[in-house]
Amino acid sequence: MTDAHIVRHTRTSRVATGVVVPLVVVLAALPYYAPGSVTRLLVDLFALVVLASMWNLLAGYGGMISVGQQGFLGIGAYTVLVADLVGLDPFLAVPIAALVAGLVALPTSFLVFRLYGGYFAIGTWVVAEVFRLLTVEVGAVGGGSGASVTGLSAYAPALRGAVIYWCALAALVAAVGGVFLLMRSRLGLALTAIRDEPTAADSLGVEVRSAKRIVFVLAAAGCGVAGAIIVLDSLRVQPDSVYGVQWSAFMIFMVVIGGLGTIEGPVIGAIVFFALQQLLSPFGSWYLVVLGAVAVLAALFARRGLFGLLTRGGDVRLFPTGYRVRAPTEAST
């Protein structure tokens, strides 16, 4: 019938694989030769990459603009605290945080999926506020002032720092790698179709609702893990901090700056955001002014994000999720 064959990897992506795998190995070995201050900084960065990747999964691939992901971040954070209170190892709470956030997201989806567009965005924010208000009512987890995670004192500081770092690295690899594999799967194809034309996707056999629901639950689980890591790192949970809407603002910033709807964009956006945060921290609120200015500049001059700018709109993908047909006729043209 045909000699055409379909390729999914590109030359760039093969080079990228050759760089990414050794890079992860080098990063994994970092606690053995780098000072604790470096790995601590990287924990913050990795948590941001996880958050950005999850928000991109929701908005860039699932078409769901959420302003309420801090709700799941907070649930993840409090899962660590509760695990600590009942005497579980706080590190064990990281995978449990994913599970709990995902389980809470499932019934939440039935509520917020009744809303579309801007209403969905506000609806998710309201849900996150409800989570915060409910948490504050529980005296056992410190009410409005929060509480400290004490179980980690059983670990020597150096070991504790290293294990937190490895947790964060594992979460990053799982988030970025997971989104990549997801987008290459049947579900990824469905999501891209839904993003472009939901009605046509429905007519072509795509279960639009359930595809979106899976994404909503996965993104919540990812944000839960990020929340758990943030708490392990700071050793303290405060409801106003972990449930703060600023997390959503950060996620949107990172994804929009980096490049919505790409795997690479959120990673780049997280690095830029983290660098700005670190460089500008001595200048107080000027930090927010610069963030705003960068967002405006990106909206004006890099509408497809920094990744779009770097690739100049070309078909460059370090993590290719699409399909390219190499037909026999193509060689002659």
- The residue among 160 and 317 lying less far from another protein, judged by its C-beta, is 317
Q: How far are the Cα atoms of 6, 9, 231, 315 from residue 332, in angstroms, in the given order?
A: 17, 22, 59, 21
Question: To the nearest whole angstrom, how small is the minimum distance from the Cβ of residue 9 to another protein?
Answer: 14
What is the Cα–Cα distance from 38 to 58, expressed in whole angstroms?
31
Nearer to another protein, 98 or 194 (CB): 194
Interface segment toward another protein; rule CB under 8 A; list 99-107, 109-117, 141-149, 182-190: 182-190
Please, which residue, 6 or 140, has the CB nearer to another protein? 6
Q: CB nearer to another protein: give 4 or 279.
A: 4
Residue 299 within binding range of another protein, rule CB under 8 A: no
CA 239/CA 95 separation, integer angstroms? 21
**Cα 331 off chain centre by:** 40
User: % helix / strand / coil in the chain, to the nearest 5?
Assistant: 75, 5, 20
Two tokens at 192?
A: 């891209």
Q: Does 332 bind another protein (CB under 8 A)?
A: no
- Which residues, other chains included, contact 191 with Cβ-Cβ below 8 Å and sequence gap of 6+? 61, 62, 63, 183, 211, 215
Asked if 327 touches another protein (CB under 8 A), the answer is: yes
* Whole-angstrom distance, CA of residue 56 vs CA of residue 251: 8
DSSP assignments along 71-140, one per residue: HHHHHHHHHHHHHHHTT--GGGHHHHHHHHHHHHHHHHHHHHTT--HHHHHHHHHHHHHHHHHHHHT-GG
Give the nearer residue to another protein in terms of CB position, either 8 or 150.
8
CB 94 within 8 Å of CB 164:
no
SS3 call for 197: coil
Q: Per-residue contact track with another protein, 254 to 273, x per CB under 8 A?
A: -------x------------
Residue 6 near another protein by CB under 8 A: yes
Report yes or no: 69 and 223 within 8 Å, Cβ to Cβ. Answer: yes
As measured in angstroms, the least distance from the Cβ of 53 to another protein is 19
Q: Which of residues 305-324 bind another protein (CB under 8 A)?
A: 322-324
Judged by CB under 8 A, the chain residues 188 through 207 that form the site for another protein are 189-190, 192-193, 195-197, 199-207
- 325: contact with another protein by CB under 8 A: yes
Contacts to another protein from residues 58-97, by CB under 8 A:
none
Say how far apart CA 51 and CA 55 lie, in whole Å: 6
Nearest-angstrom CA–CA distance, 183 and 197: 17
Question: Does residue number 298 form part of the binding site for another protein (CB under 8 A)?
Answer: no
* Among 99, 208, 235, 290, contact with another protein (rule: CB under 8 A): 208
Note whether 121 and 64 are within 8 A (CB). no
Q: Which stretch binds another protein (CB under 8 A): 13-21, 109-117, 231-239, 325-333?
A: 325-333
Beta carbon nearer to another protein, 130 or 208: 208
Q: How many residues bind another protein (CB under 8 A)?
A: 29
Site for another protein in 219-258 (CB under 8 A): none
Binding site for another protein (CB under 8 A): 1-2, 4, 6, 186, 189-190, 192-193, 195-197, 199-208, 261, 322-325, 327, 329
